[in-house]
Amino acid sequence: MPEAKYGELPGYFATEERLGGKDAYEAEKTAGKTVLDYRQWVQVRTDEFKNWFGDWQNGQVPVRLLDKNGEPKIFYPDPVADTYEVSRHICYYETQRRSVKETITEYVKYDDEGRIMGIWPQPREGYLPEQRSRTRTFYEDIEKSKTVHETLSFRQVEDCTFHIRIEGSNRWIGVLVLSPEDGENGFRSNRPLAKQDGSRYFVPFRVEIEKDYRSKGVGTALYRFAEQCIGEEIYPARSQTDAAKGLWEKRNRQGGFGGYFMNADGQMKSAVNNSGLFDRSNSDTGDTLPQEILDKARRTYQGLRATAAPEAEKQRFTMLEQLMEKTVSGLPADVRMQARINFYQSQIRDAGKTYDLSDERNIETGIDR
């Protein structure tokens, strides 16, 4: 993944400068002292990473979490198989034949010699009641249930088409069709539109799984199988369904595509798709990116402004935002982003307070000028 495309935290750039940049990295790489890519090499040396992982450069991390060079080790998920075991509890109906013996009353008329002249189901003049036994046969559907164990087979039928079938049958239960992303924004708002070679990221054009097989991990397994086949990470696009995005998020929580770091507490963080926050309070392997934090905070602030009353309060929100933009103008892009985040988050925290508009207010950006 291209480095410095994630809206890096200021700590990343400070660490990069302290280390000596790409020249220092290339010297380490040539000498065989690192197997990390450039972004990882810088990121594991930031304070944010060490606060999460431990100070590995001063022996405060178990050796099992370090690679042969003594750097944080990248772990990779187990290879994905082309089959997947699933158990399903199914209900079905079975037609059964039942015979019932019953006693009925019939009305019979005899002649003088005792021969039967007629039989009638209801009382009738001249007919005598008699009880008779008979067997009646009928059919009914009985509901039954059972647990079935199936092996699902994943197959790449074309370059970007993957099928799920039940092994041992021709029954088709799911499909994943990929296509190059076509649009201005991907699922990750600040992900580059194209890879370094100019090609587009693959996104699911179609994700379809039979209802009985949903919520059993089948979709995620197929997703990871497809990534293994094509050799790169698959992203959902913003225009796609929540189900497609859910598959990506679940796969990311289970170890990501490009490996992950693990701290002594067993918490995992993606080695390729990480904002650099390394937030212990977030169980996902991919922490929220700074641009996403900014977008969420800005939307919340705008919501507060829209619902504020009276009109003077709305004007106050607008005035503070304009003053903030004036304050951060001219700062480096990464510092400006962090200053905006600090501003919106501080205003949200203080939303319940009343400010005196007659006083000049100091805009809280967290950035010294």
Tens-digit pLDDT profile for residues 101-146: 888 899 999 988 889 888 888 899 889 999 888 888 878 888 888 9
Which pLDDT does position 206 carry in this prediction? 86
Contact 154, 92 (CB under 8 A): no
Checking if the pLDDT of 263 tops 60, the result is: yes
Which pLDDT does position 2 carry in this prediction? 32
Which pLDDT does position 313 carry in this prediction? 84
Which pLDDT does position 91 carry in this prediction? 87
pLDDT-derived band at 366, boundaries 50, 70, 90: very low
Which pLDDT does position 140 carry in this prediction? 84
Which pLDDT does position 277 carry in this prediction? 84
Which pLDDT does position 338 carry in this prediction? 81
CA distance 160 to 203: 10
Q: Identify which of 99, 100, 101, 97 has the alpha carbon closest to the alpha carbon of residue 141.
A: 97
pLDDT-derived band at 177, boundaries 50, 70, 90: very high
Encode pLDDT of 182-235 as tens digits.
Answer: 755 555 544 566 666 777 888 888 888 999 998 888 988 898 899 889 888 887
Which pLDDT does position 250 carry in this prediction? 76
Q: What is the mean pLDDT of residues 328-342?
A: 83
Checking if the pLDDT of 359 tops 50, the result is: no
Q: What is the mean pLDDT of residues 284-308?
A: 79
pLDDT-derived band at 170, boundaries 50, 70, 90: confident
pLDDT-derived band at 361, boundaries 50, 70, 90: very low
**How crowded is residue 322: how many other Cβ atoms within 10 Å of its Cβ?**
11
Checking if the pLDDT of 369 tops 60, the result is: no
CA distance 8 to 11: 8
Summary mean pLDDT of the chain: 83
CA distance 106 to 122: 7
Which pLDDT does position 1 carry in this prediction? 32
Which pLDDT does position 66 carry in this prediction? 96
pTM more than 0.85: no
CA distance 260 to 43: 13
Q: What is the mean pLDDT of residues 242-258?
A: 73
Which pLDDT does position 368 carry in this prediction? 43
**Continuous segment of H or E residues that includes residue 156:** strand 128-158
